Structure 1
Amino acid sequence: MYIYKVFFFFLRCVSAMSKLRHSGKMRVGGPHNFVMVDESKFTHKRKYNRGRASNRASWGFGMLAIKNNRKKPILKIVRHRSANHLMPHIKRYVRCGSTIVSDGWRSYHHLRDEGYNHLTVNHKECFVDPVTGAHTQNVERLWVCKSTIWRLRGNRTENLLRDHLNVIEWTYWRGNHHRSGPLAMLLHDIRKQYPV
């Protein structure tokens, strides 16, 4: 019974985020707004070095806007961390004129050419830039979810990993903003999807 509830929860969250994404409302940033970007590797781990090794290298790419203490993450799966793979997501989900804060990864070097302000922090020297105060700690904090996803075996396939990332997005974009909490928002979404 628990498996069906979890599956239904995933299905509902994925559906709600898909609608939000296709409506064009899932965009962050703008003039005088900061968006933090970072990438992290999601790979299936073998226990005791036994079993089949994963030959896929899935990278999670996160864009996080914080405005009025409200976090809005956008999490994507990319094959590589090159500018060709990351820039289309930035252009689609981050409004021009935003200030993007990143580490010194070379894929972000052309953000100014695309109409964004760009602040960097060199993690070899410090975690918070002493001059600008720029840091990426909030978006890096999102990657704590990797241990939960790994424990739930949610990174074995790319589709399952994508569903887990959708649930995290749903929690921040919709679930946490209902006055009675995420469960009440889930029930609201279900009633909206399946009216009596």
Structure 2
Amino acid sequence: MSIEQLLILTWCWCYDLSIEAAAASANCSVKAAETQYSQCRRVCFAALDDREACPEAGLMGGDGHLIQIDECSIKARRKRAANGRGRLGPGDQQEPHRGNADEQAAVADDAAIAQEEAAHGNVENIAVDEAENAEDNDRAEGWVFGLCWWRSREEKANGIPNETRFFAVRDRTAATLLSLIQNHVAPGSQIWSDCWRSYARIAQLPEGYTHLTVNHSKDFTDPVSFVNTNAIEAAWSRLRHKIVRTKRGVGKELRFHLAELWWKSLQRVPVPSRNARNNKTKTHPMIYMNFLNLISRTYPV
């Protein structure tokens, strides 16, 4: 392929165009577009592993900063607690006459699923079908651990987005998850999570983390401390949508897809709005140049 075609495909990848649309824009085959998209993800993976080349990949949080953590099975239709809770925000209320609390949570969860499927073209159903129909070595499966650096409204207004990092993990044991937390979360940070037993020793780690939890079997948001995991849980739908849109080769390249999502979470800016509570973001207008600079820093001549 020509340099011009490679640059066009890179631009398309930066702005999340589908592989088919990228191939049409660059006047090349879908296979060639897939290859270039894969190379872009590998750049992210290499750069984020080198904090000199990518200083923005340093430790998350710090004194006075909040990190939300959670884990998710990417093959699951929807992450739920045992009784179906853990998905709704504090503003999602059910009418008390519609069954008991568990039944109300299930109804509300099903409604949320229907809304998300309508918005994303049955994303989660397709995700299961793709995994079940794929060859064994091409399945997107297993657990993913996520960390979200929550930003205040003032920080978001100044162009500082929530940063989200995802990591494929073999299991959800304390040894696995606590090691990732220590490697990516700065000492003194405040960490919010659910009550998964592997998180029980976070406050005892030498980094001096403050650890607060919400019991999803009782509340979506803790009524006293207001602790929740809404920000990181919201990231799971974006993760699934991304995995399903790509479809091809996700299982073999899952770690590179996760690196792409991490880097692109840093390339978001707030959407101007008169509503101070507006949390919408858009792709940074300089993302293409930022990525070319990332390439030059990661692979210096």
Name the TM-score class by shorter chain.
Answer: 0.7 to 0.9
Write 1 or 2 for the structure with the bigger share of strand. 1
Which residue, 59, 62, 65 being the options, matches 1:33?
65
Equivalenced residues, count = 193
Counterpart in 2 of 1:150? 244
Aligned to 1:64: 148
Matched residue, 1:110: 201
* Contact 2:195 2:213 (C-alpha < 8 Å) held by counterparts: yes
Structure 1 161/32 Cα, relative in aligned 2: closer, same or farther at 3 Å? same
* CA RMSD in angstroms, aligned pairs only: 3.0
Deviations 1:63-111 (Å, cap 9, x if unpaired)?
1112322212221111111101101011111122211100111111111
Mean Cα deviation higher: 46-55 or 60-69: 46-55
Instruction: Look at both structures and tell me which one has the larger radius of gyration over its CA atoms.
Output: 2
What residue ranges of structure 2 are gaps of 5+ in the alignment? 1-27, 76-126, 270-282
CA pair 56-4 structure 1, distance change in 2 beyond 3 A:
closer
- CA distance in 1 between counterparts of 2:242 and 2:178 reads 28
* Distance in 1 between residues matched to 2:298 and 2:45, nearest whole Å: 13
* Structure 1: gaps (5+ residues): none
Query: Does 2:28 match 1:10?
Result: no
Shift of the 132–8 alpha-carbon distance from structure 1 to 2, 3 Å rule, reads: same
Q: Percent identity?
A: 27
Please report how far the alpha carbon of residue 58 of structure 1 lies from its aligned counterpart in structure 2 after TM superposition: 2.0
| Inter-partner Cα distance in structure 2 for 1:188 and 1:15 | 14
**Whole-angstrom CA distance in 2 between matches of 1:96 and 1:152:** 36
Query: What CA distance in whole angstroms lies between the structure 2 residues aligned with 1:170 and 1:119?
Result: 27
Aligned residue among 220, 229, 243 for 1:127:
220
Name the CA distance, whole Å, in 2 between partners of 1:179 and 1:146: 22
Q: Which amino acid aligns with 1:123?
A: H
1:155: how far off?
Answer: 3.3
Q: In structure 2, what residue type is equivalent to 1:166?
A: A
TM-score normalized by structure 2? Answer: 0.56
